[in-house]
Amino acid sequence: YRSGTLNAEDRASWGGGELPDVFLGNYSAVPPIPCFALSTEDAHMLQRIQRRGEVLRMRVEMEAKMDGVALSRNLVAEIEGSEKPDEVVVMSGHYDSWDVGCGAQDDLAASVVMTKAIANIQQLGLRPRRTLRLVLFTAEEIGSLGGWAHVRLHPEYEEKLSAIFDLDSGVFHWLGMGLTGDDQTMQTLRYVSRSLRGIRADRVQPARYRATSNLYMAPRDVPTIGAPLQVPINAIRPDYYQDVV
């Protein structure tokens, strides 16, 4: 569903915002279909043609293909916990991108944010109670393969993974964050996020789905923080993917 589709507000969209919740993060819920990416300009042109009452017919010729298997690696760094080193909080992003895209916003910028965050903690001499593990995943765009491989190397996550903090929505003007977790975790995060009021980024709300990097990461009851709320999400999406592809 990667495409330059247009949503109800006549802004270019990646399509996911128009899918029912059951499909988000669960692409096996529908039969596989061919898909391709359109530029924002092309999507608007097609809409203008349709609004003139003309019947749209398209012929699409694509040369994209899966060209074998290549070795790729996740990038991992961590700060060992001071009291519960066997319990882990994962901070993550992914460093691969679409096709020939530079991946500036999806997802290198967020990966830099995560890297800088854990570097600042180390430079300040802070020792978290639990181990902080930075994971920059590879091969997210072709099926979250980096996340799948990482979990296979860490079966202890089933019992010892405490939380996931994943960024995969660009680094624009943040208003807050989304959470998949229980009510107690939601209240705790809202309390902690009060420290972000000064930059007006203290909103916390339930997330519609987990970031794709960590779909395989943990049981569903492990809190996942991410999907930052941004202003305005529909306005930044065109720049987001033009910067990527």
Considering the candidates 63, 140, 156, 159, report the single residue annotated as catalytic. Answer: 140
Instruction: Tell how many helices (H) and how many strands (E) occur in the chain.
Output: 6, 9
The Cβ-side half-sphere exposure at 153, using a 13 Å CA radius, reads 10
Task: Please tell me the total number of residues recorded for the chain in this structure.
Answer: 245
- Amino acid at site 30: V
* Contacts (Cβ under 8 Å, ≥6 apart) of 192: none
CA distance 98 to 104: 11
CA distance 139 to 159: 26
Q: Is the dihedral of CA 24, 27, 29, 31 positive or negative?
A: positive
**Token couple for 1:** 């569903």
* Contacts (Cβ under 8 Å, ≥6 apart) of 175: 200, 201, 203, 228, 229, 230, 231
The Cβ-side half-sphere exposure at 11, using a 13 Å CA radius, reads 14
Q: What is the largest CA-CA distance in the chain?
A: 67
Whether residue 54 lies in the annotated active site: no
Please, what is the Cα angle at 127 between 120 and 195, to 5 degrees?
A: 60
Active site amino acids: 140
